[in-house]
Amino acid sequence: MVKVKVFVTLKEGVLDPQGKAVEQALDARGFRGVSEMRVGKYMEFYMDHEAAGDQEIQNMCEQLLANPVIEDYRYETEEVVSK
Amino acid sequence: MVKVKVFVTLKEGVLDPQGKAVEQALDARGFRGVSEMRVGKYMEFYMDHEAAGDQEIQNMCEQLLANPVIEDYRYETEEVVSK
């Protein structure tokens, strides 16, 4: 079994209103010195070993987990001994 | 300058309808062998070196970036030479 972690973030240059809002909320609560806040998606899941090839995971990301027009993605995989 | 990465996920046992929906959508597109999909938030931001203490980041997470009732968080920090 493989544990897959996918990180989806907005591409550089794409406006991130959610990030801006969180940054302002932090500032309003007195947390200073925070800049360039970007908010994205984090997904964790398990895959059968045979299914967990790079091409398969990239296809999943590009077809469903991330929007290739405005988002970048990266992923990490981790062998899981018993699940 | 410090780059901070925050990962927010639902606590074990908390129902994740979004994760379920994504898992089913993947299956519908022919991606087999995916299980226990959990969808969370991923945040990246920069902090002034002096402000980026562990206690400060934990306070930010517990007060704003994560909902401590239903979510867990973890974070990583990375020295950034020039920003």
Domains by residue range for chain B, with CATH? 2-79 (3.30.1280.10)
Range from A13-17, A18-22, B79-83 carrying the lowest mean pLDDT: B79-83
pLDDT confidence band for A37 (50 / 70 / 90): very high
Residues of chain A positioned with their CB less than 8 A from the CB of B56: 31
Chain B contact present for A59, CB below 8 A: yes
Predicted local confidence at residue B50, as pLDDT: 85
Predicted local confidence at residue A81, as pLDDT: 80
pLDDT in tens, B66-75: 999 999 999 9
pLDDT confidence band for A49 (50 / 70 / 90): confident
Residues facing A73 on adjacent strands = A8
Q: Give the torsion through C-alpha atoms of B72, B59, A40, B76, to 10 deg.
A: -80
| pLDDT at A8 exceeding the cut of 60 | yes
CA distance, residue B49 to nearest chain A CA (Å): 9
| pLDDT at B82 exceeding the cut of 70 | no
Residues of chain A positioned with their CB less than 8 A from the CB of B10: none
Task: Give this complex's ipTM.
Answer: 0.86
Mean of pLDDT values over A11-27: 95
Predicted local confidence at residue A82, as pLDDT: 65
Three-class secondary structure assignment of A60-71: HHHHHHCCCCCE
Q: How far is Cα A77 from Cα A13, in angstroms, rounded to an integer?
A: 28
pLDDT in tens, B22-50: 999 999 999 999 999 999 999 999 999 88
**Closest by CA position to B36, among listed B14, B62, B57:** B14
Asked if B4 and B76 touch (Cβ cutoff 8 Å), the reply is: yes
State whether A34 and B56 contact (CB < 8 Å). Answer: no
At B46, list the tokens: 């920069």
